[in-house]
Structure 1
């Protein structure tokens, strides 16, 4: 369902979707069919939605802000038997973007640290959803890069993945960015205009070079600041039982 009236949004298959299965974790390898990271699921076609449900998707975690959700709602998943959890990691996209200007991989990495520290309760809730959903959980923001990358990192840390494997997964989005930008334009264009940003100038300001720098900053800063990078989440209620359940589900055949 689209909440705000206006031109129909173009629907398309995700261009940055991947199952986290195959990543080495404590005790083995993360199985497929547990956690899927992706770009905006509110924009998927009816066919793509049906394929995901048929493959075992039972829960969606929407990390977008309320402003973003107001434009596209849940899309085709609004009429399918999939649990929906709206856990915004940014209260206001515009304010968050302004703190990162000018955009650099370093400023993005610093914003990820702030996200973990300020949105730890939402991240804890998200991990509990993954731990308890009866099937696969998909989580997404707009591009499936920043907010989605932060949740993926927290999940993989809880599962005992090495930092380098977390960085490798995050960096896989790099090659998908041109397609992501085209796919999300119908939502992000109106949103950026409403927030007072010049979309063309903003997109032109995105940094070149390896994007893995941002994830290395997140992981390195959390380790330097806390020792255990999951400390902000543990302080917000991430329990040993939830971590144990995640690890058991991740390794189960």
Structure 2
């Protein structure tokens, strides 16, 4: 990857600036403009100060209604909040619940049991749904609308629960529209495994205290981490549906060449 991201919020997981990634025409994504993250229910006063410093204007929350009720974002004063629930119901492998006691750990183990038959393959089957399901497509279209509407002098932050799946797909599609290489798009996606390493360890340990079944524990791992094949499956679905990723952006998300030019004018330097 052409940059070294920093996970810069103490109270939120996997928060990082897309600034510095190489994009179209030899330019790079402008710093402190496009921020991807996990949920914001525990951000600190120092975190709020950092978000204020970068002139955060908009937060796009990609979580389900149940997730937002369980852990409400802390919204800095004056920041626009937009809820775009890419997934409306509980989807094992996509929606997230925290593991803070054995009962939560047991629920995560139940998720893993659902994935036991083919663990990684099951996750690969979930990612295409994020660009095929009509509601998901509608919400990603709204996400792009927010990015295009954002104040050119301010930042936009988008997130899901861990900042891995729904936010990962949003970041990948946005970076593609900005002209980033597939190599750099994938590197950014995979960086979640580094930012969330402690979370992944905690989740696995919580389940290990409830079961010695190594296949379940392996499924928990693949539920919580990233793998190149997941994002590849998403892009393959875009191509399968429309013939190319560019046509998918235009036909499904309304991101025409005009809008791509606007995005690049707004967010590249």
TM-score bin (small chain): 0.7 to 0.9
Q: Where do 1:142-161 residues align within 5 Å?
A: 142-161=161-180
Aligned residue number for residue 105 of structure 1: 120
Q: Does the aligned pair in 2 maintain the 1:24–1:161 contact within 8 Å?
A: yes
Aligned residue number for residue 265 of structure 2: 248
Instruction: State how far apart, in whole Å, the 1-side matches of 2:219 and 2:195 are.
Output: 17
Report which stretch shifted further, 173-182 or 110-119. 173-182
In structure 2, the gaps of 5 or more residues are: 1-8, 95-110
Report which stretch shifted further, 228-237 or 201-210. 201-210
Structure 1 position 16 matched with structure 2 position 31: no
Aligned residue number for residue 140 of structure 2: 123
TM (norm. structure 1) is: 0.78
**1:238 Cα shift?**
1.2
Structure 1 position 88 matched with structure 2 position 85: yes
Aligned residue number for residue 243 of structure 2: 227
TM (norm. structure 2) is: 0.74
Aligned residue number for residue 6 of structure 2: none
Instruction: State how far apart, in whole Å, the 1-side matches of 2:78 and 2:120 are.
Output: 38
Aligned residue number for residue 54 of structure 1: 53
Structure 1 position 238 matched with structure 2 position 254: yes
- Rate the CA distance shift 1:199–1:45 in 2: closer, same or farther, 3 A: farther
Instruction: State how far apart, in whole Å, the 2-side matches of 1:52 and 1:198 are.
Output: 37
Q: Does the aligned pair in 1 maintain the 2:140–2:253 contact within 8 Å?
A: no
Which among 22, 25, 29 is matched to residue 23 of structure 2?
Answer: 25
Does the residue aligned with 2:35 lie in a helix, a strand or coil? strand
Q: How many residues align?
A: 230
Q: Does the aligned pair in 1 maintain the 2:239–2:248 contact within 8 Å?
A: no
- Rate the CA distance shift 1:243–1:12 in 2: closer, same or farther, 3 A: same
Instruction: State how far apart, in whole Å, the 1-side matches of 2:209 and 2:141 are.
Output: 33
**1:219 Cα shift?**
1.9
Structure 1 position 178 matched with structure 2 position 193: no
Instruction: State how far apart, in whole Å, the 1-side matches of 2:192 and 2:173 are.
Output: 17
